[in-house]
Amino acid sequence: MIPKKLSDITFEDIQRLKTEQVREGKTIEYKSQVPDNVKFLKGVSALANTSGGDFIIGIQETDGIPSAVQGIQISDVDGEILRLENILRTGLEPRLVDHNIHSIQVKDDNYVLVIRIPQSWNAPHRVVKDSKFYGRNSAGTYPLDVSELRLAFTLSEQVSDRIRNFRADRIAKVYGDETPVPLMEGSKLLLHLMPLSAFTTQNRIDISAFYQDREKKLPTIGCIRDSGWGSMLNIDGVISYSDNFESVSPAYTQLFRSGIIEAVRVYPPYQDEKSIPIVVYEQDILKIVPSYLKILSELEIQPPFYLFISMLGIKDYQLKAVNQVNWYLVRNAVDRDILQLPEIVIDSFEVKLEKTLKESFDMIWNAFGFSHSFSYDDKGNRQ
């Protein structure tokens, strides 16, 4: 895999593969032309089923070593990318949800296409047309045998279990006030941003280096740092928190050594009114998640990421929403104290969060008896 963000890869980076004779391996495959559909799906699914990597079209290779960067002739780049994405969408089972395609101009109408495939969270993927599962090692692509398939299915289930168990454990701790800093009373918004690599590898962040680099700070949800901010090391990693209150904090952010980010924000009752400031919730989430993705990018932790939104201590609360003219209370009260939304898959650093999060915001409004988030218009655009 080219060690750069996909969108930052340039023609010079592609040329460097040739000049430095970067051989095909477990995480990189070269093709001089766009292969037929089955070969294309075999190569991509093999990367997804193992360690992920880059499938690069437009590089000629000899014995696995790049010999020429000639690109492929494409008159309509966007159309070709859409065609390849359609092949991936319909040609694999289960569907491959995590992939991105980046085009790099070589000359005139000649381009190199880099298809980045993260290690899949729902592997193994089967090529529909030949009904086979493929893996990749340093020697290339090969069909998975029965024992490897059994292991792949088992590992996929184990990863899903680890993710669910981690989330459940953290919800229980925050709900039970077992937090790294004391929090004030009120309903809590809890975010978890979890890299898949946190559950599939043993890679760990150099926490001391991160903490000592004062440019790398962990923002907290909805809090202005100038009003009081502190940070410290703890057994789990690094934590930042709002400390402009005497003994309790309204928010903290924990960066775990595995790369997982946990963020909590308390919304205390206003004049004893049990209400959720839903528009503020949505704005706070949309503002903070890009900051956390930027931190993960700087730490060279790659997608996919799983974003989980939870709301704690909210039984009998109502939504408080703005209707352009005035504030009003939605009449329905929520019927549970803990609300856990399904995971949101973030497969690139360039994700369009307003659209990606709409379904989750709709579900929050659903919990209080409404059909959708009033923050979006009929076309799904945020107002």
With cut-offs at 50, 70 and 90, classify the pLDDT of residue 327: low
Instruction: Output the CA torsion 297→204→118→169 (10° steps).
Output: -100
Residue with tokens 């903290």: 252
With cut-offs at 50, 70 and 90, classify the pLDDT of residue 330: low
Q: Read off the pLDDT of each residue in 3-17 and give the average, rounded to a whole number.
A: 91
- The pLDDT value given to residue 348: 78
With cut-offs at 50, 70 and 90, classify the pLDDT of residue 203: confident
Between CA 60 and CA 62, with CA 61 as vertex, the angle to 5 degrees is: 135
Average pLDDT taken over every residue of the chain:
89
With cut-offs at 50, 70 and 90, classify the pLDDT of residue 325: very low
Q: Read off the pLDDT of each residue in 60-78 and give the average, rounded to a whole number.
A: 94
Q: What share of the chain in percent tops pLDDT 90?
A: 56
- The pLDDT value given to residue 282: 93
- The pLDDT value given to residue 329: 58
With cut-offs at 50, 70 and 90, classify the pLDDT of residue 215: low
- The pLDDT value given to residue 18: 95
With cut-offs at 50, 70 and 90, classify the pLDDT of residue 158: confident
- The pLDDT value given to residue 323: 54
Lowest mean pLDDT among 28-42, 168-182, 323-337: 323-337
- The pLDDT value given to residue 170: 97
- The pLDDT value given to residue 225: 52
- The pLDDT value given to residue 108: 87
For residue 304, say if its preceding peptide bond is cis, omega within 30 degrees of 0. yes
> Does the pLDDT of residue 213 top 90, yes or no?
no
Q: What is the pTM of this model?
A: 0.69
In whole angstroms, give the CA distance from residue 176 to residue 191: 16
Q: Assign domain 6-144 to its CATH architecture.
A: 2-Layer Sandwich (3.30)
The helix (run of H) or strand (run of E) holding residue 192 is strand 187-195
> Does the pLDDT of residue 337 top 70, yes or no?
yes
Q: Read off the pLDDT of each residue in 230-256 and give the average, rounded to a whole number.
A: 87
- The pLDDT value given to residue 129: 94
In whole angstroms, give the CA distance from residue 230 to residue 222: 15
Lowest mean pLDDT among 120-134, 222-236, 338-352: 222-236
- The pLDDT value given to residue 333: 81
| N residues, the chain | 383
- The pLDDT value given to residue 95: 87
> Does the pLDDT of residue 229 top 90, yes or no?
no
pLDDT tens readout for residues 43-53:
999 999 988 89
The helix (run of H) or strand (run of E) holding residue 146 is helix 146-175
- The pLDDT value given to residue 294: 92
pLDDT tens readout for residues 286-310:
999 999 999 998 888 877 789 999 9
Residues 6+ apart with CB under 8 A from 199: 159, 162, 163, 166, 258
In whole angstroms, give the CA distance from residue 4 to residue 37: 27
> Does the pLDDT of residue 54 top 80, yes or no?
yes
Closest C-alpha to 365, from 301, 288, 311, 306 = 311
Question: What does the domain layout of the chain look like in residue ranges?
Answer: 6-144, 161-367
